[in-house]
Amino acid sequence: MTSTIIMPQLGETVAEGKVLAWFKSIGDEIREGDNLFEVETDKVTIEVQAVVAGRLSEIRVGPGATAKVGEVVAVVDGNMTAKAPVLTAAPAAKTSQWRSPFEEVSTPIGRFGPAKGPNGIHLTPLARRLIAQGGLDLAGLATEAQRRGERRIDGAAVRAAISARPATPTAPLPAPPSPLPVPEGNVISLNAVRLRTGERLTENWRTIPHVFQAIEVDFTAVNRVRRSRKADFQATHGFSLTFLPFIARATCLAISAYPQINARFDGKVLTLSRDVNLGIAVDLDHNGLVVPVVRGAGELTAIGLAKAIRRQTEKAKAGKLSADDLAEGTYSISNNGAFGTTFTAPIINAPQVGILSTDAIRLKPAVVSTPEGDFLAPRMIGIVAQSFDHRAFDGAYSAAFLSRIKLILETRNWDEEFPSDL
Amino acid sequence: MAELTYRDAVARGIAQEMERDERVVFLGEDIGKAGGVFKTTVGLYEKFGPRRVRDTPISEQAILGAAMGAAMTGLRPIAEIMFADFLAVCFDYVANEMSKLRYMSNGQLACPLVIRTGNGGGVRFGAQHSQAVENWTMMIPGVKVVAPSSPMDVIGLMAAAVRDPDPVIFHEHKALYAIKGEVPDGEIVDRLGTAKILRPGRDCTIVALALMVPRALAAAETLQREHGVDAEVIDVRSLVPLDTQTILGSVAKTGRLFTVEENPRLCGWGAEIASIVADEAFWDLDGPIVRITTPHIPLPAADHLEDLALPSASRIVDKVRRVLNG
Amino acid sequence: MASVKDATAPNDRLRNDDIGLDRRLELFRLQVEIRDCEKRAFDLFLQNLIKGTSHLSIGQEAVAAGFGVAMQKGDKSFCTYRGHAHTLARGASMEGMLGELMLRDIGLMRGKGGSMHLTSVKHDVLGSYAIIGAHLPIACGSAWRAQYLGEKDVSVCFFGDGTTNIGAFHEALNFAAVWKLPVVFVCENNLYMEYTPISEVTAVKHPAADRAAAYGLERIVVDGNDADVVYRTALAALEMARDGGGPSLIECLTYRHSGHSRADPAKYRPPGELEEWLKRDPVVIYRERLRDFGVKQETIDAVEAASKRKVEAATEACKASPQAPLELLTADVYADGGWAWRN
């Protein structure tokens, strides 16, 4: 068994050393503590002793030569192996912290148009955002401002332009998107954000073999709890308690039983994720689709999910999402309940392998089985569905996952998710 | 309710905490029998006795070191450093010791203490006794920093600081000791890390600290009355932890930010806030962020020169008006 | 109660065995283990398994062992970056200490502090301090707390000869004397400040003891290489402090066999000086002492063999230990376990 002699660490900031002389020759017997060689650094000259015993079989860095700290300078044949230090790779850093240490300040992503108009007039950042979000015509505004002799376009000017437009009704959330104003000629050009989103959707549709499965869920029990907690929730948190937090919670719980759903696929390898980073698809009126992520969703209760989803959705609508908010999603939910649809087959966000969709939940006649017999009753029924990547797993696995979500939604004690003294 | 001076509020805040918790002890130079050189601790020695209120030699390093050793082993000390400028004399304890103890020991050791100190200028003490140095303490990871602007905040934030399990540096302002304010009866406990919107407004956000707060409020009155500018004034109160959400929320509303800082120009506390806003709230900004500060010079003793150096209400009005109209 | 001075009378050693065999074996075991562990640290540094810097106590074991045995559970230690010996002497494990030097998860602070900041609260080691003199006032604060709460523990503060010239030393001594605090200040005078002989930079011959009078304290200089002398001196000082008699300042004369830190081959020592001091190697002295008291060679050998085994086991455990997980980067800046400076 051989051991290696390395250039030792000689000083706090020393990176290399020059061997001045060897005190042993090849073939010599070495005992622990023997002086082996003399080394010079920019701070000090020092003799290096052996920490192993054996026969010096090889000198790799001779007199006059320089080696970096840690580099092998000689080899000793002997009975003591210098074990390499075991530096096991640390497990992946948990993202349960609120902020990444390298994102103490969350830079918003998204470009909202150029800083100057076509005629060179400056725009404030607020003006650029309002123009992009309002779908206004920059060239027109720039010409107008120049005509009025203004030096720049600011937020007030854009807001004035917005209010001068014929108003498009903005319904309170959640609401179906208002129809695009149709100018003369039936030509609607898409803005940059929409075009980019479209490109991504196309790529995902093209490369992933989507299979769509749906299951009918009875939301009556969920609805009972939701209704009874609604007023208190609104008073405490300032927004409305919808079905989505319950569905998200059930999804996270089901994922722990079906971990392949919460994975990333690169075409060859399926990597399961330990954390559930749940993407919530948010439709930005006329500005495409973003999927901000709720990190560590698996650790949150229904209330926690409600708050986190609300926070991310608000950020998305205000254009304040950062790269951190959009990254590292492991599974997504497309919530279409507000549109009144029965089911929706969403497009998967690569490299995820599935996306849940939920649609309208409404009272429908259903058969309820009791020990006394089967009866027709009005129940709150909704479809919960999944588009999944058939390369990652098969229909039986996906169906089992959906069945688990159904079971959780229908039978879980949802009251326990809420504090008893709200 | 009662009207209390800022300096009496200091004594009341300390007394409130010392009554509540036997472990709270107080040390510093001339704080006991003399009631403090600024008369901020009058009555404490008589009420709590020499065992809990201890006069020390002129030994700033020993004062902070002893506070730290006592805090590490079970007490909740309050240590006075008479003039904030003297923090430079014992800065090792702030920069290297109390701030890093918990981290280096992997959570084994803690340092629940409060350093209270007389900060800031406007009192004609000259360059070595007039500096506003809260920014020196803001930049050390591991400590918390507050600077109250009113008697009620003095009591509430002192209580929060004493109850906080981390080292807190409590910057009182010497030029505010004589001001009066309404203070409710009974126990007052505030929260670190919270800013306060003292005057809501729509046209711009002015963020100020300590002595600069009353000046910003006065400027806002003038701006409204004479120039039709409706300014929102925020008292930052706590530099670490920093209430960025209140400031960002305000800028989202107004689109304009001004800071009013007593620190000399370079690396004043407002520079960090300006940087955060320019980053996270970039798309809310409707104009450049402007910092109104003391120039980057030592402070003179002469009153007319010192008054020129520190941001005044009229300098604030002038700058805000010019920038908003430009 | 015998005064501290009586404890150091040289010819008392053999005449009365006030120390007792159990404590003698304990004194020997600690010195041997400290020696073996420090020598292993020396080797691991050469192998680049210990990174950064390391300040070894080889040659200074008797001070750490003497106080380690004299101190009671609950007495608090504060030491400098040359604190490995003091940490082991209070009972911290070798793998905790070596592991910290190797910056592994098994280390006393999981690698967060490093060699210069060894801390083990459960062994009453309340930190090792790298800024010269900083911990003297801190020890005063711990002693103030004991005095205030009526607790009976004593705070003991170890530092080197170089510390006696820095401001915090003087502030702390005066403070402790005026408040009559239960603190013991122990100066390990190993003759060298870092690379400079202490005599060249100090106005008095004994850098600690000759300053004691300035603070109204007794002048105490002892042979820091004789663990019995250190032990007796320590006991007397601890007893005095515990009884409300106030602080002591003890200068222990000793010598370090290696350089200031591992990077220092100590070529500034005059020729022959190291050899002279090696003759007064504390471990060698104490081995002889045990034989004088009739301890059998096998007992002595067993202690030394056990120490070597412990060092091997600790080394293997440390080598097998991973480094701390990445999330420790931002842990424990504040009491809530996190690091948030903003909302």
Closest CA to A279 of A193, A349, A202, A183: A349
pLDDT digits (tens, 9 = 90+) for C271-329: 888 888 888 999 999 999 999 888 999 999 999 999 999 999 999 999 999 999 998 99
CA distance C266 to chain A (A): 10
Q: In which element (H, E) is residue B322 found?
A: helix B313-325
Distance CA A331, CA C313 (A): 47
Q: What is the CA radius of gyration of chain B?
A: 19
Distance CA A144, CA A149 (A): 9
> A23 and A113 share a domain?
no
Closest CA to C231 of C186, C297, C276: C186
pLDDT at C10 over 70: no
What is the DSSP pairing of strand A16-22 with strand A45-49? unpaired
- Could you tell me if B57 lies within 8 Å of chain C, comparing CB atoms? yes
Residues of chain A with Cβ-Cβ distance to B286 below 8 Å are 124-127, 154-156
pLDDT at B32 over 90: yes
> A9 and A45 share a domain?
yes
Q: Which CATH number fits domain C4-11+21-330: 3.40.50.970, 3.40.50.10860, 3.30.365.10, 3.40.718.10?
A: 3.40.50.970
Is A120 part of a structural domain of the chain? yes
- Residue that has been written with the tokens 């060239």 in this structure: A139
Domain boundaries, chain B: 2-183, 196-325
Distances (CA, A) of B69 to B114, C84, C340: 13, 21, 25
pLDDT value at position A165?
78
Distance CA B325, CA B228 (A): 11
DSSP state of C211: G
- Could you tell me if C140 lies within 8 Å of chain B, comparing CB atoms? yes
CB contact under 8 A, C175 and B66: yes
Residue B321, sorted as left (phi over 0), alpha (psi -120 to 50) or beta, turns out to be alpha
Segment 63-122 of chain B within 8 Å of chain C by CB: 63-75, 77, 92-93, 96-97, 101-110, 112
Q: pTM for the whole thing?
A: 0.72
Q: List phi, psi (to 5°) of C244.
A: 90, 15
Q: Which of C46, C322, C327 sits opposite A94 (nearest CB)?
A: C327
Distance CA C210, CA C218 (A): 9
| Length of chain A (residues) | 422
> How is domain B196-325 classified at the architecture level of CATH?
3-Layer(aba) Sandwich (3.40)
Say which CATH number the domain at A69 has: 2.40.50.100
Which residues of A are tagged catalytic? 390, 394
- Could you tell me if C15 lies within 8 Å of chain B, comparing CB atoms? no
CB contact under 8 A, B165 and C167: no
Average pLDDT over residues B256-274: 98
Distance CA B141, CA C253 (A): 39
Please answer whether residues A224 and A317 qualify as being in contact, where contact means their C-beta atoms are separated by less than 8 angstroms.
Answer: no
> A236 and A338 share a domain?
yes
Q: What is the CA radius of gyration of chain C?
A: 20
Side chain identity, residue A59: I
Contacts 24+ apart (CB under 8 A), A373-382: A379/A218, A379/A219, A379/A220, A380/A218, A380/A219, A380/A220, A380/A222, A380/A223, A381/A216, A381/A217, A381/A218, A381/A219, A382/A216, A382/A217, A382/A219, A382/A243, A382/A337, A382/A358
ipTM of the assembly?
0.95
Structure tokens at C325: 């997980």
Please answer whether residues B254 and B202 qualify as being in contact, where contact means their C-beta atoms are separated by less than 8 angstroms.
Answer: yes
CB contact under 8 A, B61 and C109: no
Q: Which of A105, A106, A112 sits opposite B283 (nearest CB)?
A: A112
Please answer whether residues A159 and B286 qualify as being in contact, where contact means their C-beta atoms are separated by less than 8 angstroms.
Answer: no
Looking at chain C, which residue has its C-alpha nearest residue A13? Answer: C52
Domain boundaries, chain C: 4-11+21-330
Which residues of B are tagged catalytic? 129
- SS3 label, residue B238: strand
Q: How many CB pairs under 8 A join A and C?
A: 68
Residues of chain C with Cβ-Cβ distance to A12 below 8 Å are 52-53, 261, 263
Q: How many CB pairs under 8 A join B and C?
A: 159
Residues of chain B with Cβ-Cβ distance to A156 below 8 Å are 286
Q: Where are the beta strands (DSSP E) in A151-308?
A: 152-153, 210-218, 263-265, 270-272, 278-280, 282-283, 289-290, 293-294
Of A156, A171, A186, the one marking the end of a domain is A171
Closest CA to A77 of A147, A3, A153: A3
Query: What DSSP assignment string belongs to A384-422?
Result: EEEEEETTT--HHHHHHHHHHHHHHHHHS-GGGGS-TT-
> A213 and A69 share a domain?
no
Distance CA C131, CA B84 (A): 22
pLDDT digits (tens, 9 = 90+) for C133-167: 999 999 999 999 999 999 999 999 999 999 999 99
Segment 59-118 of chain A within 8 Å of chain C by CB: 69-70, 82-83, 85-88, 90-91, 93-94, 97-99, 101, 104
Residues of chain C with Cβ-Cβ distance to A87 below 8 Å are 322-323
Distance CA A163, CA A181 (A): 15
Q: List phi, psi (to 5°) of A236.
A: -75, -45
The answer, yes or no, to whether the previous bond of A351 is cis (omega within 30 of 0) is: yes
Q: What b-and-e string marks burial along A148-174, b requiring 16 or more CB atoms within 10 Å of the CB?
A: eeeeebbbebbeebbeeeeeeeeeeee
- Could you tell me if C51 lies within 8 Å of chain A, comparing CB atoms? yes
Domain that holds residue A376: 194-417
Structure tokens at C83: 């604190």
Distances (CA, A) of C151 to B53, C6, C120, C137, C144: 19, 28, 20, 19, 10
pLDDT digits (tens, 9 = 90+) for B269-319: 999 999 999 999 999 999 999 999 999 999 999 999 999 999 999 999 999
- Could you tell me if C53 lies within 8 Å of chain A, comparing CB atoms? yes
Is A358 part of a structural domain of the chain? yes
> A321 and A262 share a domain?
yes
> A161 and A309 share a domain?
no
> Which residue stretches of chain C are H helix?
4-7, 21-46, 61-70, 84-89, 94-101, 135-149, 167-179, 227-242, 273-278, 282-292, 297-320
pLDDT digits (tens, 9 = 90+) for B107-157: 999 999 999 999 999 999 999 999 999 999 999 999 999 999 999 999 999
Query: How do the pLDDT tens digits run along chain A, 422 residues long?
Result: 677 788 887 665 667 888 888 888 888 888 877 888 888 876 567 778 887 788 888 888 888 888 888 788 888 886 443 333 333 333 333 333 457 888 889 888 777 888 888 888 999 999 999 999 888 999 999 999 999 998 899 999 999 998 887 755 554 445 455 555 554 566 666 666 677 778 888 888 988 999 999 999 999 999 999 999 999 899 888 899 999 999 999 999 999 889 899 998 888 888 888 889 999 998 877 667 889 999 999 888 899 999 999 999 988 888 788 877 888 899 999 999 888 899 999 999 988 999 999 999 999 999 988 888 999 999 999 999 999 999 998 999 999 999 999 999 999 999 888 876 54
Is A20 part of a structural domain of the chain? yes
Distance CA A49, CA C46 (A): 9
Contacts 24+ apart (CB under 8 A), A112-120: A112/A319, A112/B283, A113/A138, A114/A138, A117/A141, A117/A142, A117/A145, A117/A153, A118/A142, A119/A143, A119/A146
Q: Write the CATH number of the domain with boundaries B2-183.
A: 3.40.50.970
